[in-house]
Structure 1
Amino acid sequence: MQLEDIRTAAESAALHPNWREGDHLLALLAKNAGERPNEVAMRERDHGIWQEYSWADYLDIVVSFAAGLEEAGVTAHDLVAVIGDNRPNLYFAMLGAICLRAVPSPAYPDVPPEELAGQLRREGIRVAVAEDQEQVDKLLLARRSHPDLQLIVYDDPRGLSGKDQPEGTVSFETLLERGRARLKREPGLKDDLLSRPSVHDVAILLHSSGTTGVPKGVPLKHGHLISGVRNAAAAGYFRQGEVHMAYLPIAWVGDFTFSVAAALELRFVVNIPEAQETALHDMREIAPTLYFCSPRAWSAMLTRIQVGIAETTRFKRWLYDRFMPFAVEMERARLDGRQPGALQKLRYALGSFLIYGPIKDHLGLSRVERAYTAGEAIGEDVFLFFRALGLNLRQFYGQTENCALAVAQSPDDISLTSVGRPFPGVEVKIDDSGEILLRGDNIFDGYYKDPEATAKALRGGWLHTGDAGQFDDDGQLVVLGRVSEVMHTASGTRYIPTYLENRLKFSQFVKDVCVVGSGRDFLSAIVCIDLQATGQWAQENGVAYTSYAELSQSPAIYDLVQGIIARLNAALPSGLAISRFVNLHKEFDPDDGEVTRTRKLRRDVIDERYRRIIEATYTGDREIEFEAQIAYETGQTGVITRKLTIRTLGEGA
């Protein structure tokens, strides 16, 4: 199925007069390969050994795969599914498709077969590229309901090659060799392939989070991506030759923007860890200069540090307790405009030698010059901790629709509450309803086959982000939450659930939380504890447990969570206090449809699935027996009854 509805080249040219026709991702790749053929462009850790690809290798594989892909029947504007973890051949495959003016459509590696089949059907996909047997098996299952899927190209041959190779599958290497043979037969083919893309072509089809239904397709053109990267570079957000680690899901806009678009424009060295499980270990060897992760990931990193300190020697704990609080308070004072004195600087230098430097080195952050976080609000304690280590951690704001690059804090203009100022080339304003509007050449041109959503998002030349915001006294942007999630209690008190939820998640003990209360007399919350952090706390405080469900219902854990909610309540305006809460017996799970793959709440699913629990928080019940459906690895389902405590603030603590 072709992307015929995402504006013609003439319409795109009229909309983006600043774009230059020959300015596209393949031109950048060819330029790098021509000017610096032997310079390392990408590295992958494979069985403990780093395999390197130069810019010349990069170009050769991309063009050869494109030639093989075209011989297999892929044509301009075809959509090509890509699924798996970060792997060089998956990046090469995406760029090979782009070389043909086809459009890669990546999926999250943990997507279940039924969701994957839905994407294939909606997008009429005939060809897919998969990482390994696990992903091929999913595609084969999806093909039962989408027989139009004709070809599956796989990277890792284990379990797939030989006489048992599934019908309609071919290895990446086989297609690559076919392409190389074709390039030898057709001397002018390489130049022809590299000349085909246009700055106005769609380079990638990404997808919205799908919090309210089926994810929307977000087509990003070469011009959008290159404009976004150049705007960010002009603001000092990226620099030439960054050392970058590609570990984010390839279906997320941040990965394609960082690992492909920015890497090609600014000649990054892209490093790919051996597996998601080894990413933190591999990062120590990579020692990136640029590092981004979500607030949730920064918080998890802090939790690991705290757990490690709790388990180390008494002397190391003494050093940590002596220097770390000092550094945090010094950073807090610095953000308040108070500069440290000579003695403080001397003590900090000693702390850098004894504590801060070793922690950064242990985390693989010793060379990071540009550290970022985005996606949701980050906790003050987490933010201050990493800045206290000497990382210039900054917040930024972006969406898939603007290539994830719109607004960021500058290195010397940091705020705990704002996300910064717009990049050069990006305009931001707040409309009368309080919605954040954006304009610039990095803003997409419309959703895939969804004119109604496009008309709603793009009005008057501005992208209506759907986010509520305001400018602080210093002119920096403050993001409050989703406009669609502005709710009112029965008394008419206005609140934004995500604002409250994010602040509860500032605690390392809270992994997820859903605040409810629309049309009700008060607010209540369903809390999912963080097993690692809460389990460590339980161990230190003599609380025995055998499972997540048992730990979640411990009175001591209820006291812990109640204290977290009480601290938030103390900082909230009258009428917005959370009065009752329940600790859920499990985490919210993307496979159960309760959160998206990027862990955004699907409120309609939660409201329906936990309706009895929510009602119980408003009827004054102190506990509820809840029948929870569970799925076994065999595919069978069952029901288990859980007794859940419902706590009123002020009780039991």
Structure 2
Amino acid sequence: MTYPTPLEALLRHTKNHPDRPFLHQPVNRKLLITTWKQAETQARQVATGLVSLGLTKGDKVAILAKNSAEWFITDWAIMMAGMISVPIYATAGEKTIRYILEHSEAKAVFVGKLDDKAAASAVLTGELPVIAYPYDTVSAQHQWRDWIRDMEPMEHIYAPTLDETMSIVYTSGSTGNPKGVVLTYLNYASVSDTHARSFEASGEDRMVSYLPLAHITERGVVEGPGLYAGASFYFVESLDTFVDDLKVAQPTLFVSVPRLWTRFQTGVFEKMPAQKLSRLLKIPVLGKLVARKIRKGLGIDAARLYGSGSAPISPSILQWYRTIGIDICEGWGMSETTGLSCTNMPFDPELIGTIGRPCDCVEMKLSDQGEILIRGDAVFKQYYKNPEATEASFVDGWFRTGDKAQLLNNGAFKIIGRVKEEFKTGKGKYVAPVPIESALASNPDIEQICVMGSGRKQPVAVVVLAEHLMHSDKALLRPSLETTLHEVNAGLESHQKLDCLIVAQDSWTIENEFLTPTLKIRRAAVEDRYNRIAQAAEGQAVIWEDEVKLG
């Protein structure tokens, strides 16, 4: 099947409605609006700027910045110049930034808003040309404002074919150095066009871009489909203004990740205890009013489509959101599949707990070992400069995803864990942690969970409590956690039953390196930190980390 390229989509919409508001960027609490024509013109100017640096077709250009209108425009400018984009997480550390720039052989780098400039400043010391977005960022030889003021728009832009490389997207590196996933225009165009159609998106839709654009979910589920549909985009000024910016945007399509959906829920419970809210929601008229007020408070009451991806989300969380009128379509995908490849959309409550059915741009099946295999227009063909990893990742033309699943009779896939995350207990039995973690997440007091137990007689669970409960009275929290532990164990086979539940003292974050930039738990880091604690905690049902006496 043929698809329009992103540049063809951009030019089409610019021609059809040049003066329609397109990109909405809050700066110092003022909304700066860029029309479609302005966005295209600025992209042409930036493309000219790249050529003025001596860069040529095929050169790699990195983007190290939080989401902004400039990020989108840069993405298109790099395409217009015939170059290849290399996104880097704004939260990346010095080692990761240096590795990606060197491995990708980037010839220039755009920098923008960063929560911590130290890592970028340590790496960007003058060897590479640096172009700074108009925000407080690292020092740079070139300024975005100057290019937009001085550069002539590129008249004859590059027209890529679908088989050419568009971007090298580096994985989050949860088990070592990140791998560079080579994505073609076919990969990106297929998901953008497919999802724009399946979302039934149009120029009337409003989308908020706030999940990291270095992660393929944001580019493949938000930026791409929104561009192809002609939707308008809104950005977030800062974490502190997040909800206010949502209320301004009034998104009609809203995608988040499990950690943030859990945080939203926790925020609701901070204002009203879960049990009291549950009682109110069951009262016929009052319940609808309360639900509407919660949706409005979250800033997502105008949305007609909600999604969750990047990591597994607990069915109990999805069921709770249903009670306030939010049906979240769970999705599944990878950098190697250009993001969303399987989803419960249109939303079907019977498919809660599954990732739904494959999207039109891919085919999926299970191997004899239960691993998801996938192929299609959205699936990449190679890792950058890593033929060994590429060869090991394919079997007869199918990409080996590393995810284990069940294929249900209704055609939906149910993830039961990662192939490499399964561990063998001291009894020689294999345990998949994800289903157990999902069951524990039914307790709203728990925000983060990691089940571990390689070589132990029984698995254990380490949990992080919701932020507002971190310093609460343990005696008040313990009964609820013990009940959850008992209920979860009652549904497990003997070798899966949890020996104890350990409550961590600190949250797991990107900064302390317990989470990847995509908010996935770095299991090896958690196990390394809590292994001795778990050994000393044996015989306790629920125990706090600071209660454990290490020998």
TM-score (norm 2): 0.92
Preserved contact between residue 537 and residue 543 of structure 2 (Cα < 8 Å): no
Seen in structure 2, the aligned counterparts of structure 1 residues 621 and 502 have a Cα distance that, compared at 3 Å, is closer
2:229 aligned with 1:309: no
Once residues 377 and 290 of structure 2 are traced to their aligned partners in structure 1, the CA distance between those partners, rounded to angstroms, is: 44
Q: CA deviation at 1:520?
A: 2.2
State the match for 1:169 in structure 2: 141
Seen in structure 2, the aligned counterparts of structure 1 residues 69 and 269 have a Cα distance that, compared at 3 Å, is same
Aligned to 2:485, the other structure's residue is in SS state: helix
In the TM superposition, what are the counterparts of 1:408-557 in structure 2 within 5 Å? 408-411=343-346, 413-414=348-349, 415-535=351-471, 538=472, 543=473, 554-557=474-477
Task: Write the letter of the residue equivalent to 1:72.
Answer: L
Q: CA deviation at 1:157?
A: 5.3
State the match for 1:44 in structure 2: 25
Give me the CA root mean square deviation. 2.8
In the TM superposition, what are the counterparts of 1:38-437 in structure 2 within 5 Å? 38-132=19-113, 137-143=118-124, 149-156=127-134, 158=136, 166=139, 169-180=141-152, 183=153, 189-190=154-155, 192-193=156-157, 195-236=158-199, 238-239=201-202, 241-310=204-273, 320=277, 322-325=279-282, 347=284, 351-352=287-288, 354-411=289-346, 413-414=348-349, 415-437=351-373
Q: CA deviation at 1:205?
A: 1.9
Once residues 258 and 163 of structure 2 are traced to their aligned partners in structure 1, the CA distance between those partners, rounded to angstroms, is: 34
Preserved contact between residue 68 and residue 177 of structure 1 (Cα < 8 Å): no
State the match for 1:314 in structure 2: none
Q: CA deviation at 1:424?
A: 2.0
Q: CA deviation at 1:624?
A: 11
Q: CA deviation at 1:57?
A: 0.7
Preserved contact between residue 253 and residue 404 of structure 1 (Cα < 8 Å): yes
Aligned to 1:223, the other structure's residue is in SS state: helix
Once residues 381 and 604 of structure 1 are traced to their aligned partners in structure 2, the CA distance between those partners, rounded to angstroms, is: 26
Residues paired across the two proteins, number = 549
Task: Write the letter of the residue equivalent to 2:311.
Answer: E
Q: Deviations over 1:508-552 (max 9, x none)?
A: 3223232222232111222222222455xx3xxxx3xxxxxxxxx
Preserved contact between residue 332 and residue 339 of structure 2 (Cα < 8 Å): yes
Q: CA deviation at 1:59?
A: 0.3
State the match for 1:331 in structure 2: none
Seen in structure 2, the aligned counterparts of structure 1 residues 235 and 118 have a Cα distance that, compared at 3 Å, is same
Q: 1:570 aligns with which of 485, 490, 507?
A: 490
Preserved contact between residue 192 and residue 224 of structure 2 (Cα < 8 Å): yes
Preserved contact between residue 223 and residue 441 of structure 1 (Cα < 8 Å): yes
Once residues 231 and 141 of structure 1 are traced to their aligned partners in structure 2, the CA distance between those partners, rounded to angstroms, is: 41
Once residues 65 and 237 of structure 1 are traced to their aligned partners in structure 2, the CA distance between those partners, rounded to angstroms, is: 32
Q: CA deviation at 1:137?
A: 5.0
Percentage identity across paired residues of the two chains: 22
Seen in structure 2, the aligned counterparts of structure 1 residues 133 and 597 have a Cα distance that, compared at 3 Å, is closer
Preserved contact between residue 133 and residue 156 of structure 1 (Cα < 8 Å): no
Q: 1:616 aligns with which of 536, 539, 551?
A: 536
Q: CA deviation at 1:621?
A: 8.9
Preserved contact between residue 241 and residue 266 of structure 1 (Cα < 8 Å): no
Which runs of no fewer than 5 residues in structure 2 stay unpaired?
none
Q: CA deviation at 1:150?
A: 2.0
Q: Which has the larger radius of gyration?
A: 1
Once residues 114 and 304 of structure 2 are traced to their aligned partners in structure 1, the CA distance between those partners, rounded to angstroms, is: 38
State the match for 1:633 in structure 2: none
Q: CA deviation at 1:291?
A: 0.4
Q: Deviations over 1:141-160 (max 9, x none)?
A: 1145xx6x321111135587
Instruction: Identify the range of structure 1 (133-142 vs 289-298) with the bigger mean alpha-carbon deviation.
Output: 133-142
Instruction: Identify the range of structure 1 (452-461 vs 285-294) with the bigger mean alpha-carbon deviation.
Output: 452-461
Once residues 509 and 265 of structure 2 are traced to their aligned partners in structure 1, the CA distance between those partners, rounded to angstroms, is: 23
Q: CA deviation at 1:559?
A: 4.1
Seen in structure 2, the aligned counterparts of structure 1 residues 574 and 609 have a Cα distance that, compared at 3 Å, is closer
Which runs of no fewer than 5 residues in structure 1 stay unpaired?
1-17, 161-165, 184-188, 312-316, 327-346, 544-553, 626-641, 648-653
TM-score (norm 1): 0.78
Preserved contact between residue 136 and residue 152 of structure 1 (Cα < 8 Å): no
Seen in structure 2, the aligned counterparts of structure 1 residues 159 and 376 have a Cα distance that, compared at 3 Å, is closer
